[in-house]
Amino acid sequence: MSGRRRLVLAGALVALAGAACDDGAGDGGEPAAAVYKEVLVAHFVSDCVGVGPQQCLNVRESADADWTMWYDPIEGFEHEAGYEYRLIVSETVVENPPADASALRWTLIEVIEKTPVVAGEADANPILRPWALEAFGPAADLGDEATTALVQAALAALPEDNPVTLGLREEGRVGGFNGCNRYFGNFVIENGHQIVQGPKGATLMACPDGRMDLEQAFLRNLDSATRVFLRGDGLELENDAGVLMRFAAWDYAE
């Protein structure tokens, strides 16, 4: 954006902010709580969950910040996949927001830039990458009390550089390390978060009892997963009973 354009835009924002304050202050009321900011919007949307499954914009306030999900619409803004945006928005505080809504409201002031993301330069679908198992969720089936203890101990004892992994690939395949052996199979994600699974195989190396229990628990819960969601920087596998497993991004390419 040119220096002249930035100066004009800055002047416009000062005028808007002054007008917002005058609206309340002139008659003895509270000044309007509008804040004007520049935000970046990614070329892709992510599956997310409020009260129910939905799709969220990915936003950040500077080019070196991480993308974070924005759960509510930006009023007046229409997102087109494949384009990155630089916007000016007004941010206002919502009094008594609904339980499933943000306490902040963004309203579009201006689209400064709309840039097509060239094929091959676009970020990969953020769900299609390797993930490392952080924990089993409350709905996970780990077996009886004694087996559960073995599984949890085996998971905690794994080296940081060799965790249980879930490698999701664009061609509808999954693979990784299950705590004892390497596994592979079909794992198709439909409509953003629905899982359709197919046959899986694994190598057959023998492992200590705790590792074998971990392997069996991981594969059992993987097979029972019906939905996948990105939550923050992590990923969760779920079924109707709840969260089965939680994963963190893993940098080692499967």
pLDDT tens-digit readout, 39-54: 999 887 776 766 667 7
In this predicted model, which residue has the larger pLDDT, 203 or 13?
203
Say which CATH topology domain 130-249 has: Lipocalin (2.40.128)
Confidence of residue 230 (pLDDT cuts 50, 70, 90): confident
pLDDT reported for residue 81: 80
**Which residues, at least 6 apart from 236, have a Cβ–Cβ distance to it below 8 Å?**
137, 228, 229, 243, 244, 245, 246, 247
Least confident among 70-74, 98-102, 186-190, 240-244: 98-102
Which residue bears the tokens 């197919």? 198
Q: What is the pLDDT of residues 113-168, one digit of tens each?
A: 998 865 444 455 788 889 999 999 999 999 999 999 999 999 999 999 999 999 99
pLDDT recorded at residue 213: 97
Q: CA 228, 233, 239: angle at the middle one, nearest 5?
A: 20
Q: What is the pLDDT of residue 253?
A: 44
Q: Measured between alpha carbons, how far is 17 from 102 in angstroms, rounded to an integer?
A: 22
Query: Is 44:58 a contact under the CB 8 Å cutoff?
Result: yes
Give residue 23's pLDDT. 45
Question: Which residues contact residue 100 at a Cβ distance below 8 angstroms, ignoring those fewer than 6 apart?
Answer: 50, 51
Distance CA(35)–CA(231), nearest Å, equals: 27
Mean model confidence pLDDT for the chain? 82
Which two tokens mark 116? Answer: 């097509």
Task: Work out the percent of the chain whose per-residue pLDDT is above 90.
Answer: 48
Query: Mind listing the pLDDT tens digit for each residue in 61-116?
Result: 987 777 788 888 999 999 998 788 999 999 999 888 776 667 889 999 999 999 88
